[in-house]
Each structure stands twice: as structure tokens, then as C-alpha cells.
Amino acid sequence: MLFNSYEFIFLFLPVAFTVFYLIAGKNHNGALAWLALVSLFSYGYWSLYALPILIGSVIFNYSSALFLTNPETRNRKLMLFFAI
């Protein structure tokens, strides 16, 4: 979905913002989860074949960050090298 398309501007964006603000008033983490789901939907709408690559990248980056922030783990420099 292109950012300058009519379906993005007049359908996707208003729905995404409206639901976000409705959820954000009650549950901050729910609003963040909504943004993540909406982002994955918009990316998947553009290219369904590239969606697993994006999800894999998010999982790898998140797990790398968890590994790097733990001070008790060894070989953090090596993990940082692979994460970059």
C-alpha cells in the first residue's frame, strides 16, 4: 500500500488512527500492539512475500537486543557483530 494512494489516505490511515486513539485511552500496551499489527498489515498488503522477512528480522533484532542487554551473557561483542 503506497502512502500516496487514496485507499491509504482515506481508508487505512483514518481507521488506524481512530482505533489507536480509542485503545490508547484505555490500554497503552494494547495501542502499541495495534500499531505493530497495522504496520504488519500495511507491509503485507504491499508485498505478502516479503512479510516473513520482516517478521524474521523483527524477531532476530528483538532477541539480539535481549541478549545484548543481559550483563551476564558472554560473547556480547560477537553477538553485536552479527546483529549489525
Give the pLDDT confidence score for residue 10 in this predicted structure: 95
> Could you tell me if 55 and 39 lie in one domain?
no
- Residue 36, pLDDT score: 94
| Residue numbers of the chain with a pLDDT score lower than 50 | none
38/63 same-domain check: no
pLDDT for res 76: 84
The parent domain of residue 70 ranges over 48-84
pLDDT value for 74: 83
Query: CA 39 to CA 79: how far, in whole Å?
Result: 27
C-alpha cell at 58: 523483527
What's the chain's Rg over C-alpha atoms?
Answer: 17
Q: Based on the domain organization, do 52 and 76 belong to the same domain?
A: yes
